[in-house]
Structure 1
């Protein structure tokens, strides 16, 4: 199983690509699209926690390609809080979106590197996520 990570608009690491490939290898996948959700079961609007993350991959030319990586967060207070995209790295559309607007994806290089490093630490070192894969 191969995840294409080279020559993308953002520096997706081999570590992340290998981790996703290993995760997909353990699944019985049917189809050419997969969505991976990472959830901290204790995350809520009142107490915080680790943000939910969604990664979408599509299979093309015998390799899986990253379509987008989205990090969600609660915005608002109490019963009015809602889960929104806090960071959205959309590789297919070539844009990066955060709470301040939409930008060319290349402008998110530093932000992406920090985000990915933190995400991998939370996933592997802290084991905070429940992971689900849907095709």
Structure 2
């Protein structure tokens, strides 16, 4: 299962795509046309903080897969007004990057994306903080 990363506007690594590919191979019995992977930490809360939930959407095109978006969620607001919102959103299909301050062309995330990816892989693969669901 090959996930395309070479021509993306952000420096998505081969290692990241290989890990996602291996996860899908292990979790999906047939070859679906799309997959949404949800990573969530059961201990994350508005009061206590923790590791942000992440959603990654992939779609198959022929024998390869493309990354549609990677969204990192976090709690925003205070008291009764706290809610889970997009903290970082790398939307490859729309060519947009979103953070809590607004929407930008995806290329503006070129410096933050490698930091996010490195941290995410550490939390996922080394620290094993996430429950993972593939739909």
TM range (shorter): over 0.9
Unpaired segments of 5 or more residues in structure 1?
A: none
Worse-superposed segment, 23-32 or 119-128: 23-32
SS of the residue corresponding to residue 46 of structure 1 reads: coil
Match of 1:85 in 2: 86
CA positional deviation for 1:76: 1.4
Match of 1:60 in 2: 61
Q: How does 1:14-93 map to 2 (within 5 A)?
A: 14-26=14-26, 27-29=28-30, 31-93=32-94
Deviations 1:76-115 (A, max 9, x none): 1233210000000000000000011100000101110110
Unpaired segments of 5 or more residues in structure 2?
A: none
Match of 2:2 in 1: 2
SS of the residue corresponding to residue 48 of structure 1 reads: coil
Match of 1:13 in 2: 13
SS of the residue corresponding to residue 18 of structure 2 reads: helix
Deviations 1:13-55 (A, max 9, x none): 0111000000010122453011000000000000000000000
Contact kept? 1:69, 1:90, Cα under 8 Å: yes
CA distance in 1, matches of 2:96, 2:69: 10
CA positional deviation for 1:7: 1.1
Worse-superposed segment, 78-87 or 68-77: 78-87
CA distance in 2, matches of 1:29, 1:70: 25
Contact kept? 1:95, 1:105, Cα under 8 Å: yes
CA distance in 2, matches of 1:93, 1:114: 22
Match of 2:117 in 1: 116
Pairs aligned (count): 134
CA distance in 1, matches of 2:78, 2:30: 39
